[in-house]
Structure 1
Amino acid sequence: MKSYVTNFLGYLKTERGLSPRTLQAYRRDLEQLLVYLGAEGIDRPEKVTQHHVRAFIAQRHRQGLSGKSLQRLLSAIRSMFRWMLREGFAEHNPATPVRAPKSPRHLPATLDADTIGQLLDIPCDTPLAIRDKAIMELFYSSGLRLSELATLRWEQVDLGSGMVTVTGKGNRSRMVPVGRIAAKALLEWRKVWAKFAPLEEPHVFVSQRGNPIATRTIQARIRHWAQRQGMPQSIYPHLLRHSFA
């Protein structure tokens, strides 16, 4: 199991670009899981059941872990098994039906990687879905403000170097990196972009009528996908922006 954890952490670092602090939190949580599974004699992903995950969470609860920490721990396990499913290393996600005790709290200012993964895992079977995927990936990858993303022009995007130049508050320009997955999503959107916009249109994201996309449309589309993906809470651009690592 250790090799799967190592490869998953590598995926989070290279593909999702998570910060060293966040990666360390994932490593700590998943290594605790490895210790528990090792004591149970489990060394393969397919041997892990929801009973094992539930028992592990209960054990950590008895050891005094807070509800918030338990939620984070469970999120890390779900994320790893979701990755294993995509890579063909596992046949099911044993953490999906497990729920951790909740701590009273307000709506979080950020989303964990498990929730982000659930939101971004949308079917890109229509041009609009391809556009929306690119929007959400760019929010998460680069932390752009809503207004910056809505007014983004193709001349500001350099996918070769993986950078986007944006003009923010105070009319100040800054360069922000674009992650590999976000860059791929933008390339896919570029392929179908001409179906909506005339060639002289400079804006990256446009409506079905070919006009620059409105901020309220972006907000509505993110809410649409959050509901479509069965998200348990309200999702809006500000959350995506502040969830990028």
Structure 2
Amino acid sequence: MSHPASLTEPLELFFDYMIRERGLSSFTEKNYRQQLDVIVDFMVSHEVTRWDQLDASWVRQITSQAKRDGLKPGSISLRLSALRSFLDFLVLRGTLNANPAKGVSAPKQGRTLPKNLDVDEINQLMSVDEDDPLAIRDRAMMELMYGAGLRLSELINLDVKDVAMRKGDLRVIGKGDKERVVPFAGQAKEWLFNWMRIRSQLLKGPENALFLSKLGNRISARAVQKRMAEWGQKQAVNSHINPHKLRHSFATHMLESSGDLRAVQELLGHADLSTTQVYTHLDFQHLAKVYDAAHPRARRRKSERK
């Protein structure tokens, strides 16, 4: 399908601007191009040949067509995001007076639960008995992520000074630069100590990072993800291993053992209790039952229960 220059030329100006001025990544550019090409196809098929003809009604039709095409909510959200960014650019250039996609909401996405590992799988994964410095580092990272429920970003941003080995706690900077102190013990403490004893073998120069790459600098998030996936395969764990799965397993196992939702919320560094509910498989009905049974002014009389 041929596209009129009135639609394609502003797109090329948009991508040039976003790459040069806003530092748009090649990955995002590719995704945005794919989404906007589909939108242009839709417009041409409906004889809409100029961007200033696009109004909120047309934008809603674009999302409706995406639903009919079987796109998932996340993909529809990406399409809308690409369109909003482009139309913002047209507003900036004075081509449009307002962005017609601003008032159109993306479909709600269901919050999916990541699968956790059971205790046997955790033990299987952690059975790393090699004395290679990288293997010791990797086990220390995995033990700490599972033992303290850390986010990947929190793990890689730890500095040596953030570790209080004797007390068994970590100073962690979480989302929104919020600081919290989390405890660690047992295998996590033992393997972190093992790592600290040999950390200098990878050190090439001044470096504050707790966990180092083989080049002697702070290990990257991608390297951690890759190494954990490799250990999952090497240890023949059925589930694909990633850092988030270890954090989720920590939350699930802690809640199963303690039943203390608030404590798990604090340990994970969640601002909202609802986020912890999702992580720990709890639903509102369960919380309501706990509330009804525990709160002194919420307990119903026997006559009300009948």
TM-score by length of 2: 0.44
Structure 1 residue matching 2:201: 3-state secondary structure: coil
Letter in 2 for 1:161: K
Pairing 1:217–2:223 present: yes
Aligned residue among 177, 191, 198 for 2:197? 191
CA distance in structure 2 between the aligned counterparts of 1:134 and 1:175, rounded to whole angstroms? 18
CA distance in structure 2 between the aligned counterparts of 1:219 and 1:203, rounded to whole angstroms? 17
Structure 1 residue matching 2:172: 3-state secondary structure: strand
CA distance in structure 2 between the aligned counterparts of 1:217 and 1:198, rounded to whole angstroms? 18
Structure 1 residue matching 2:249: 3-state secondary structure: coil
How far 1:232 sits from its partner (Å)?
A: 1.2
Question: CA-to-partner distance for each residue in 1:132-165, whole Å, 9 max, x for gaps?
Answer: 0000000000011001101110110001100001
Structure 2 residue matching 1:201: 3-state secondary structure: coil
Letter in 2 for 1:111: L
CA distance in structure 2 between the aligned counterparts of 1:146 and 1:108, rounded to whole angstroms? 15
Structure 1: 4+ residue segments shifted above 6 A: none
Partner of 1:119: 125
Partner of 1:229: 235
CA distance in structure 1 between the aligned counterparts of 2:158 and 2:175, rounded to whole angstroms? 14
Structure 1 residue matching 2:238: 3-state secondary structure: coil
CA distance in structure 2 between the aligned counterparts of 1:199 and 1:156, rounded to whole angstroms? 19
Partner of 2:109: none
CA distance in structure 1 between the aligned counterparts of 2:124 and 2:206, rounded to whole angstroms? 35
Contact 2:205 2:216 in 1 (8 A): no
Partner of 1:158: 164
Partner of 1:86: none
Q: Which has the higher contact order (CA 8 A, sep 6+)?
A: 1
CA distance in structure 2 between the aligned counterparts of 1:214 and 1:200, rounded to whole angstroms? 17
Letter in 1 for 2:225: Q
Pairing 1:177–2:186 present: no
Show structure 2 runs of 5+ residues with no match.
Answer: 1-111, 255-306
Question: CA-to-partner distance for each residue in 1:69-114, whole Å, 9 max, x for gaps?
Answer: xxxxxxxxxxxxxxxxxxxxxxxxxxxxxxxxxxxxx985211101
Structure 1 residue matching 2:224: 3-state secondary structure: helix
Letter in 2 for 1:169: K
Show structure 1 runs of 5+ residues with no match.
Answer: 1-105
How far 1:200 sits from its partner (Å)?
A: 2.7
Partner of 1:10: none
CA distance in structure 2 between the aligned counterparts of 1:130 and 1:212, rounded to whole angstroms? 16
How far 1:199 sits from its partner (Å)?
A: 5.8
Contact 2:117 2:239 in 1 (8 A): no
How far 1:181 sits from its partner (Å)?
A: 1.1
Question: CA-to-partner distance for each residue in 1:31-71, whole Å, 9 max, x for gaps?
Answer: xxxxxxxxxxxxxxxxxxxxxxxxxxxxxxxxxxxxxxxxx
CA distance in structure 1 between the aligned counterparts of 2:150 and 2:205, rounded to whole angstroms? 25
TM-score by length of 1: 0.55
Structure 2 residue matching 1:164: 3-state secondary structure: strand
Partner of 1:110: 116
Equivalence map 1:34-73=2 (5 Å): none
Range with bigger deviation, 114-123 or 198-207:
198-207
Letter in 1 for 2:192: L
Give the number of the structure whose alpha-carbon radius of gyration is greater: 2
How far 1:197 sits from its partner (Å)?
A: 1.1
CA distance in structure 2 between the aligned counterparts of 1:198 and 1:184, rounded to whole angstroms? 25
CA distance in structure 1 between the aligned counterparts of 2:114 and 2:173, rounded to whole angstroms? 28
Contact 2:117 2:249 in 1 (8 A): yes
CA distance in structure 2 between the aligned counterparts of 1:162 and 1:199, rounded to whole angstroms? 27
CA distance in structure 2 between the aligned counterparts of 1:195 and 1:162, rounded to whole angstroms? 24
